[in-house]
């Protein structure tokens, strides 16, 4: 039995099963085309096959999985479709998207643009494509992956957005961030500044950018990565491993003296540690007694140092 006969057999078995919500799978079959599809099927998986085109898709179809195929285009999509997963194909364009669509995964394709997005879309992944711009983003959108593209800017972001991955692009600025945003990955871009960060933000990755300073960080922030930003001025906030500065002037007038004081304190602590290590290695009663006498003489003979400075020196 060749693989196309196996595909026909899978259709017969699916029909015999009597469950229209079950997935009709042709996955991993060495076929170049699909057999006739049942009118009532709701989910089709033809991934990891050699198909180059799709037949007419039934009006009942809700989910279509066709990644890792030889597809160069898609047939018209039924009005009922909710999930379209077509990454790792040779698709250069998409047909009009149905109003029912919720998830669009078209990453790692030859796409240069996206069609207008329906108001129902909640997730879009168009990463690793040649897309240079995005259409209007619907208010229902929650997750957007657009990294490793040719984007130079983003459209206004909807209030519903929670995940934004726009790293490894040519984006030079970000639009205002929605109050619902939780994850922001914008590293390795041309960004020089960030808009105000929402109180909901949990993770911010902005490494390898030209950012000069960070806006005020929300209390919700748990994970911040801003290394390899040569122009960024940093300072600890509330002794946490989170850094911020509101402006260069703010850094110069408020945080630079604090940072220098912290450096001095670190140097003092290091000197004390070295002294203790040295004493432990070379301690001898006669040497220790002579050292105490020498210090005592210097303390009482000096007119320049305060008692606090000498206490710091001794202890």
Number of domains present in the structure of the chain = 2
CATH code of the domain in which 23 resides: 3.80.10.10
pLDDT at 142: 98
Q: Residue 212: inside a domain, yes or no?
A: no
Q: Residue 165: inside a domain, yes or no?
A: no
Q: Residue 184: inside a domain, yes or no?
A: no
Q: Residue 171: inside a domain, yes or no?
A: no
Residue from 132, 186, 177 nearest 159 by CA: 177
Q: Residue 294: inside a domain, yes or no?
A: yes
Task: Show the domain range for 103.
Answer: 1-131
Q: Answer with the one of 131, 164, 199 that is the final residue of a domain.
A: 131
Q: Residue 164: inside a domain, yes or no?
A: no
Q: Answer with the one of 131, 146, 161 that is the final residue of a domain.
A: 131
Q: Residue 60: inside a domain, yes or no?
A: yes
CA distances from 200 to 83, 179, 215 (A): 28, 6, 14
Q: Answer with the one of 131, 148, 181 that is the final residue of a domain.
A: 131
Alpha helices (H) along the chain? 3-17, 248-250, 256-282, 285-301, 307-314
Evaluated on CA atoms 89, 91, 147, 189, the torsion sign reads positive
Q: Residue 235: inside a domain, yes or no?
A: no
The rounded distance, in Å, linking the Cα atoms of 171 and 248 is 24
Quick one: how far is CA 236 from the chain centroid?
23
Instruction: Copy the structure tokens of residue 236.
Output: 């600890």
Total-model pTM: 0.74
pLDDT tens for each residue of the chain, 315 residues long? 799 999 999 999 999 999 999 999 999 999 999 999 999 999 999 999 999 999 999 999 999 999 999 999 999 999 999 999 999 999 999 999 999 999 999 999 999 999 999 999 999 999 999 999 999 999 999 999 999 999 999 999 999 999 999 999 999 999 999 999 999 999 999 999 999 999 999 999 999 999 988 888 898 998 888 888 887 765 444 444 444 444 444 444 544 565 566 566 666 666 666 566 556 655 555 655 566 666 555 555 554 444 444 444 444
Residue from 182, 117, 171 nearest 146 by CA: 171
């Amino acid at each position: 039995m060749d693989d196309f006969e196996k595909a026909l057999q899978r259709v017969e078995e699916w029909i015999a099963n009597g469950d229209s919500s079950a997935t009709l799978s042709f996955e991993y079959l060495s076929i170049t085309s699909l057999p006739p599809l049942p009118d009532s099927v709701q989910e089709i998986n033809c991934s990891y096959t050699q198909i180059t085109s799709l037949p007419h898709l039934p009006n009942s179809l809700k989910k279509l999985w066709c990644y890792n195929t030889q597809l160069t285009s898609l047939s018209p999509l039924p009005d009922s479709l909710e999930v379209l997963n077509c990454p790792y194909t040779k698709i250069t364009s998409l047909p009009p998207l149905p109003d029912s669509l919720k998830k669009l995964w078209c990453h790692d394709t030859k796409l240069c643009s996206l069609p207008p997005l329906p108001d129902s879309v909640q997730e879009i992944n168009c990463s690793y494509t040649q897309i240079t711009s995005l259409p209007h983003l619907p208010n229902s959108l929650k997750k957007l992956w657009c990294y490793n593209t040719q984007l130079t800017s983003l459209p206004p972001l909807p209030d519903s957005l929670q995940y934004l991955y726009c790293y490894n692009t040519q984006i030079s600025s970000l639009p205002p961030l929605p109050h619902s945003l939780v994850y922001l990955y914008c590293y390795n871009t041309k960004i020089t500044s960030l808009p105000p960060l929402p109180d909901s933000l949990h993770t911010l990755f902005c490494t390898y950018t030209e950012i000069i300073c960070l806006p005020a960080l929300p209390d919700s922030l748990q994970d911040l990565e801003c290394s390899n930003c040569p122009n960024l001025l940093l300072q600890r906030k509330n002794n946490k491993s989170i850094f911020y500065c509101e402006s260069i002037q703010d850094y110069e007038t408020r945080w630079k003296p604090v940072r220098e004081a912290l450096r001095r304190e670190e140097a003092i602590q290091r000197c004390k540690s070295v002294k203790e290590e040295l004493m432990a290695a070379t301690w001898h009663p006669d040497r220790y007694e002579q050292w105490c006498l020498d210090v005592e003489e210097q303390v009482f003979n000096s007119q320049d140092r305060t008692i606090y400075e000498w206490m710091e020196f001794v202890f």
